[in-house]
């Protein structure tokens, strides 16, 4: 097995640099993939091009799992488009404006809606985003704030739910690692005990209401929000090509609630059925979403036919347009997966993990695992890849150091989640930008200031947990987070919009 050494971290670092410099994610991903293939091909450009296309991009595009993800996204996109065309989404937004009278309540409602759609980290942004664009515009809140809320209620909530795809995948990794060490505790029981130590997920979720309730923003979010307020000072609505068409005044909210209700009922029923018939796999989750969203789409189409007199041919065309709207996202996802494949081939994660060494104390080990996981996932944009690699490395090392297995596994998950939440090449980060309809790199930079502070508090939490292994550390971490965030807002923050927040 060839050791690429320092060269193994060049592609992800180059990708991040190009993304920030050119503000073009596709260009950055292509550069990263080709640079990795160039290293694999021993700097032969012709062989590198063949490797990039044949072994990376095409392999990822034709992978069964990846194809299922793309199809699922297309179906969700078609469903969301039907909700927009029907006027149901706008009717819902209008009803929310009747209920929600302040900026803080609008943001908190978006946050709670994101928590409710816990079953899909990728579909979350595509479902919630279009519904709240008009609401945020009405309250002169920038789309980047919406993207931050969407992104923070996707992966961070999904990783805490043991009976969806995330949980099934993580349990498979735990089972394998424990079997190799001769440990007999069941993977489900282990995962349940790990949940209280998943500090980054809990803290990220709680950061959102803390930010909202301060009524201020700091960092890049402060600047972009101020620019947005200035631009909309004399207008009521920020125009967007992707906004839903204005709903007729008599469009019932049921045009939105019934299809969504059908989808949620089917998702719950099918997941329950799978859970009681052999367990839930990633394929089960994806097939469940496809069946549920297709049925919900048919429900929406039938309601539009009955109450609006639309024809099925026209509505099928709208469904296809919704799916086509995700072509750009699909390209980014395929390229992101390809970059993850490249970094796997050149052992980027192994090189980074080797920098840790095995001469650390058991108390500090979870901290180092979290930092390493954060670096790997930030560079690759893949939480799943980070979990797979670090679980195989950190669990055996932690076992040898007599470190807490629950803390070690939680640190792996939190570290992988951090990159998934923050990396410009993460699929959920890209989808949050799409769902909110805002420039992708604006979302990355504005979210980074809040996520970075949350990550710093997470490091403190893992240090405390390494010394005092108790779930009560989570409560201490929450207190530290509140103090840190309110202090940052007091020192560097400005009001979201001049005037009262409530």
Name which of 282, 240, 207 is nearest 130 in CA terms. Answer: 240
Helices assigned H by DSSP within 279-358: 282-308, 312-324, 327-345, 348-354
Please tell me the predicted confidence (pLDDT) of residue 241: 40
HSE-up of 368 (CA within 13 Å, CB side)? 20
d(CA 291, CA 276): 19
Instruction: Report which DSSP code applies to 494.
Output: E
Sequence-distant (6+) residues with CB within 8 A of 306 are none
Please tell me the predicted confidence (pLDDT) of residue 246: 46
Structure tokens at 60: 């990822």
First to last CA, the chain: 60
Q: What are the residue boundaries of the structural domains of the chain, listed by start? A: 1-62+328-346, 64-141+248-327, 142-232+356-502
d(CA 73, CA 323): 8
Instruction: Report which DSSP code applies to 307.
Output: H
Count of CB atoms situated within 10 Å of the CB of 189: 11
Structure tokens at 218: 């700091």
194 in Cβ contact with 178 (< 8 Å): no
Please tell me the predicted confidence (pLDDT) of residue 245: 42
d(CA 81, CA 321): 8
Name which of 85, 166, 82 is nearest 119 in CA terms. Answer: 166
Please tell me the predicted confidence (pLDDT) of residue 480: 96
Residue 449 CA: distances (Å) to CA of 148, 315, 332, 423, 445 = 11, 42, 24, 13, 7
Please tell me the predicted confidence (pLDDT) of residue 247: 47
385 in Cβ contact with 410 (< 8 Å): no
Task: Tally helices (H) and strands (E) across the chain.
Answer: 25, 2
Q: Please give the chain's pLDDT, 502 residues, in tens.
A: 577 888 988 887 887 778 767 767 688 888 988 998 999 988 888 888 888 887 778 876 666 666 777 787 788 888 878 887 888 766 776 676 677 878 899 999 999 888 877 766 666 787 788 778 888 888 889 999 999 999 999 899 989 987 666 777 788 788 878 887 888 887 878 888 999 999 999 999 999 999 999 999 999 999 999 998 888 765 554 444 444 444 455 678 788 889 988 988 998 898 888 878 876 666 777 788 789 889 999 999 999 998 888 888 999 999 998 888 777 767 776 787 787 778 778 887 677 667 655 567 788 899 999 998 898 888 778 787 788 777 877 888 788 778 899 999 999 999 999 988 888 888 888 889 988 989 888 999 999 999 999 999 999 999 999 998 888 999 999 999 999 999 999 999 888 776 555 5
Please tell me the predicted confidence (pLDDT) of residue 448: 92
Please tell me the predicted confidence (pLDDT) of residue 84: 76
366 in Cβ contact with 477 (< 8 Å): no
Please tell me the predicted confidence (pLDDT) of residue 234: 59
117 in Cβ contact with 127 (< 8 Å): yes
HSE-up of 23 (CA within 13 Å, CB side)? 7
């Amino acid at each position: 097995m060839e050791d690429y050494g320092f060269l193994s971290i060049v592609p992800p670092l180059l990708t991040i640099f190009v993304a920030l410099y050119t503000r073009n994610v596709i260009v950055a991903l292509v550069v990263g993939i080709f640079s990795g293939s160039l290293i694999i091909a021993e700097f032969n450009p012709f062989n590198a091009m063949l490797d990039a296309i044949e072994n990376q991009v095409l392999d990822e595009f034709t992978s069964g799992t990846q194809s299922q993800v793309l199809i699922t996204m297309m179906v969700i996109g078609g469903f969301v488009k039907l909700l927009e065309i029907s006027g149901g989404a706008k009717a819902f937004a209008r009803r929310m404006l009747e209920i929600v009278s302040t900026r803080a309540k609008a943001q908190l409602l978006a946050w709670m809606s994101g928590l409710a759609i816990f079953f899909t980290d990728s579909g979350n942004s595509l479902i919630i985003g279009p519904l709240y664009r008009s609401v945020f515009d009405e309250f002169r809140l920038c789309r980047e704030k919406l993207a931050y809320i969407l992104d923070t209620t996707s992966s961070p909530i999904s990783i805490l739910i043991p009976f969806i795809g995330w949980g099934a995948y993580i349990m498979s990794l735990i089972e394998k690692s424990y079997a190799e060490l001769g440990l007999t505790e069941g993977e489900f029981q282990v995962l349940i005990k790990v949940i209280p130590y998943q500090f980054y997920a809990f803290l990220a979720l709680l950061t959102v209401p803390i930010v909202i309730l301060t009524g201020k923003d700091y960092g890049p979010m402060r600047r972009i929000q101020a620019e947005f307020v200035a631009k909309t000072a004399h207008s009521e609505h920020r125009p967007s090509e992707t906004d839903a068409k204005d709903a007729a005044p008599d469009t019932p909210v049921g045009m939105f609630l019934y299809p969504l209700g059908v989808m949620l009922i089917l998702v719950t029923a099918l997941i329950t059925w799978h859970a009681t018939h052999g367990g839930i796999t990633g394929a089960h989750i994806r097939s469940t979403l496809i069946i549920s969203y297709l049925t919900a789409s048919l429900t929406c189409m039938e309601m539009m036919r009955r109450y609006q007199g639309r024809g099925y041919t026209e509505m099928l065309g709208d469904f296809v347009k919704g799916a086509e709207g995700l072509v750009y996202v699909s390209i980014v996802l395929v390229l992101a997966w390809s970059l993850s494949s490249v970094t796997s081939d050149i052992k980027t994660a192994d090189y980074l993990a080797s920098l840790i060494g095995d001469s650390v104390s058991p108390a500090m080990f979870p901290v180092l695992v979290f930092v390493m996981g954060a670096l790997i996932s930030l560079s690759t944009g893949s939480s799943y890849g980070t979990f797979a690699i670090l679980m195989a490395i950190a669990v055996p090392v932690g076992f040898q150091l007599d470190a807490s297995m629950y803390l070690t596994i939680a640190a792996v998950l939190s570290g992988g989640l951090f990159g998934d939440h923050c990396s410009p090449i993460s699929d959920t980060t890209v989808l949050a930008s799409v769902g909110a309809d805002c420039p992708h790199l604006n979302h990355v930079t504005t979210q980074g200031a809040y996520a970075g502070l949350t990550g710093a508090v997470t490091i403190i939490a893992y240090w405390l947990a390494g010394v005092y292994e108790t779930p009560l550390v989570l409560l201490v971490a929450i207190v530290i987070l509140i103090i840190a965030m309110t202090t940052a807002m007091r020192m560097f923050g400005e009001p979201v919009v001049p005037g009262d927040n409530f």
